[in-house]
Structure 1
Amino acid sequence: MRRLLPTAFSLALVLLGAALPALPASAQKVARGETPYATREDAMQFADDVAARRNLDRAWVRATIGGARLLPNVPRLMLPAPRGTAKNWRVYRSRFIDPVRIAAGVRFWQANAAALARAEAEYGVPAEIIVGIVGVETIYGRNMGNFRVIDALATLSFDFPQGHPRAAERQAFFRSELESFLSTESRTAENPMVPLGSYAGAMGMPQFMPSSIAKYAIDFDGDGRIDLVNNPSDVIGSVASYFKAFGWQPGVPPIYPVAFDEARLKKDVLLAPDILPSFSADSFVAGGAVLEGEALRHAGLLALVELQNGADAPSYVAGTQNFYVITRYNWSSYYAMSVIELGREVRAAMEP
């Protein structure tokens, strides 16, 4: 599952004032009510295919997809930032690490201390990482999204912007998420038109996509149902379950501080694998990185993570396998650093 970039990317569009292209003609017609999805041949063929693959009621699948509404602004939000747009870690960080979010994190941690401790014991994922995820995603349930999930997923399945450099791949992803959503909803007594989420179809406090709910969400408090909207215990257990499934290593810090020995620095070599851990501590140091203490004894592989700061010099950290695991939640090193730093700030605020 890709955790997308709904919050960060929408903020970037506002900050950048990016010019947004017009919707495709087919999408404009849906938006005006001229061609509802119920009369779209591609949407109804997809409905028939899903019903056959998943052994679902064909009329129910057709009615559900046919009742979806196009969200006119959503395709535009999927487009990448214009070329030449400078990334800025300090600006990005300021959007997620602030007094309001930290205070909310303290309350969340205090109210759910037992569940956080149990998740750490059973899955090896530190409480501060789980707290950081839920805080960055939704401010602990304060902002879980107001878009109907069926509308968001249908829009991105049938009207994904073709100007996106990976349009075919991303459209296929959202169609698979729509299929997963329909499969899950068919097994409940709930109305599939009711669930709300982000403009990308992510749901609940941890903003899980439908396929991740199916694969990784758990009933952590044992009440017989999984509730990622109102049950913090299920949220905590499900985030820990997700990280364990993607290879979280208990007891390993996600990052270490790093400096450089400029005389022998091979920065291009160290940056080449991007955030994928590829270097032993010895080879990392041989490339000109300077590590200290525990980092020098790190048994796994490391990556040099670069965080750009606009026109100022970039920031760097040494990322471990656990840093890479956090980016499996959202494929962004800036996102992962925000999760780590928010969790640390909340923990520090609780210590007194």
Structure 2
Amino acid sequence: MKQLLLFFSLFISVTLTAQVNQQEVDAFIKDYASKHGVSETEVREIISAAQFQQEIIDKISRPAEGTMTWERYRKIFVTDERANAGIEFWKEHQTTVAKVSRETGVAEEIILGIIGVESYFGRIKGSYQVLDALYTLGFGYPKRGKFFRSELAKYLELSTKENLNPKEIKGSYAGAMGYTQFMPSSYLAYAKSFDEGGNADLVNDPTDAIASVANYLKVHRWKKGEPIATTATFSREVTNLNKQSLRPKNKLSDYTALGIKPGKSIAGNTPATLIILENENDKEHWYGFYNFYVITRYNHSPMYAMAVYQLAELIKSKRDW
């Protein structure tokens, strides 16, 4: 019986190893060590701690967002419970949020909306080892292996820069981390320390997360005080309307001339695009303006950007100070 169990254990080990392209692992270690002036032994010691997770492959192959209607998506992210958590987070960090908003021009509620959608204000940061996620996808998911190997390299670089233990950080199944759910490349590019004096800790420090979300939107050219979105109502049937780009390429007046009325009074020369959100039995039509497009630089899904906007508006409506 013991021999049978030993054989079975070895069989599983070999099977899991076979899921990963070992030649690519070795090439990655050599390349990273050479480019960053560290020993191959040091890099290999970290990489050898990673474990292939078939569950991660399964999840990225069938992302839930790809099959969701807007109704279902909205019910997850735009809720009174999440908005109430946002109010508590805002109260606790109101000085930080106000200062960051003032310095970057990004609306306070939008900073909160992103943190709320990304991690439920730090309550849901992910349960997968980031090292496992990037290893699994980098060497066991050929469809996007190049991207995730690049992120793995950035993760090792980030761990050194921010003094993180690469074997301990947890995140999403895709390797996104902390309050902001930044991928390693975004962490390196956009993370900011709120006090400007130390490392940017997006895993444990909400003030750094607040500063980093605002910095991300600022770098992607957030326009202070400009509109984000409003409903669009068709006063007559419009045919032959091509699929609209998330980045506004037309003026609002181009659409209103077709009989598509905005829910708010906004200048006709404002760049706008038409957003169509699919429900089970109908569609919702919205105008998205340039700042809506900026939110989609964080996540390219229009449902994501709309959830951020609507959660932000709900949180703002509950503010009582």
- Output the TM-score relative to the length of structure 2: 0.89
User: Where do residues 65-144 of structure 1 align in structure 2 (5 Å cutoff)?
Assistant: 65-80=47-62, 87-144=68-125
Range that drifts further, 96-105 or 241-250: 96-105
- SS at 1:150's partner residue? helix
User: Where do residues 1-352 of structure 1 align in structure 2 (5 Å cutoff)?
Assistant: 32-35=15-18, 40-80=22-62, 87-160=68-141, 167=143, 170-187=144-161, 189-262=163-236, 265-266=238-239, 268-269=241-242, 272-291=243-262, 294-295=265-266, 297=267, 299-310=269-280, 312-351=281-320
Q: CA deviation at 1:266?
A: 4.2
State whether residues 139 and 145 of structure 2, in contact with CA within 8 Å, keep that contact through their aligned partners in structure 1.
Answer: yes
State whether residues 31 and 70 of structure 1, in contact with CA within 8 Å, keep that contact through their aligned partners in structure 2.
Answer: no
Q: CA deviation at 1:274?
A: 3.4
State whether residues 305 and 317 of structure 1, in contact with CA within 8 Å, keep that contact through their aligned partners in structure 2.
Answer: yes
- Output the TM-score relative to the length of structure 1: 0.82
Larger radius of gyration: 2
Which ranges of structure 1 fall in alignment gaps of 5 or more residues? 1-27
Q: CA deviation at 1:53?
A: 2.5
- SS at 2:181's partner residue? coil
- SS at 2:28's partner residue? helix
Range that drifts further, 135-144 or 60-69: 60-69
| Counterpart code for 1:70 | F
| Counterpart code for 1:339 | V
The 1-side partners of 2:263 and 2:78 are apart by 27
Cα 1:89–1:176 shift into 2, 3 Å: same
The 1-side partners of 2:316 and 2:145 are apart by 39
Cα 1:29–1:253 shift into 2, 3 Å: farther
| Counterpart code for 1:284 | Y
Q: CA deviation at 1:342?
A: 0.9
State whether residues 180 and 210 of structure 1, in contact with CA within 8 Å, keep that contact through their aligned partners in structure 2.
Answer: yes
Cα 1:86–1:273 shift into 2, 3 Å: same
The 2-side partners of 1:288 and 1:321 are apart by 21
Cα 1:305–1:267 shift into 2, 3 Å: farther
Q: CA deviation at 1:86?
A: 6.1
Range that drifts further, 53-62 or 107-116: 53-62
The 2-side partners of 1:122 and 1:298 are apart by 29
The 2-side partners of 1:152 and 1:140 are apart by 22
Q: How many residue pairs get matched?
A: 310
The 1-side partners of 2:68 and 2:121 are apart by 26
The 1-side partners of 2:112 and 2:68 are apart by 25
Q: CA deviation at 1:34?
A: 4.6
The 2-side partners of 1:113 and 1:34 are apart by 49
| Counterpart code for 2:93 | N
Cα 1:30–1:199 shift into 2, 3 Å: farther
Deviations 1:38-84 (A, max 9, x none): x92211111111222233332211221222101111111112469xx
Identity %: 34
The 2-side partners of 1:267 and 1:255 are apart by 23
When the two chains are superposed, the root-mean-square deviation of aligned CA atoms in Å is 2.3
| Counterpart code for 1:227 | D
Q: Which residue of 2 aligns with 1:24?
A: none
Which ranges of structure 2 fall in alignment gaps of 5 or more residues? 1-10
